[in-house]
Amino acid sequence: MRMMMQQLQNQQQQPPPQLQGPVHALPPQSKMFEFLRTKPPIFKGLDTPLDAEDWMRTMECKLEITQCTDREKVRFTVQQLEGAALDWYENLKGGLDDPEALTFEEFRTAF
């Protein structure tokens, strides 16, 4: 019994074994890459208001999947604007005191 107790004490005093070889963690994938993998649609601003609303709902679903921050939601959504829609955003941004502070809710309301 005493021998068993001594072995237990010795084991507790020994440092834990080190892992052999380097441990490679997978590099974190960017949220933008994950977002683009959802194949978000492009919006050019030439569609009807109902098409615009459908596009926004689709974007919101895709943004939710990628668990974006509020600022990322704005940036990723703007990436999908082209033509007249991008011109609209540039005008919106130009009228703001701090464009970087634009929330997604403010963007959506203005849209």
Q: 79 lies in a domain? A: yes
pLDDT single digits (tens) 28-82:
458 899 999 999 999 998 878 889 999 999 999 999 998 889 999 999 999 999 9
Domain that holds residue 57: 29-110
Q: 1 lies in a domain? A: no
CA angle (51 as vertex; 87, 43 as ends), nearest 5: 35
Q: 81 lies in a domain? A: yes
For residue 76, give the nearest of 44, 42, 50, 47 by alpha carbon.
42
More confident residue, 101 or 8: 101
Q: How many domains does the chain have?
A: 1
Query: For residue 24, is pLDDT > 50?
Result: no
Q: What is the pLDDT of residue 106?
A: 95
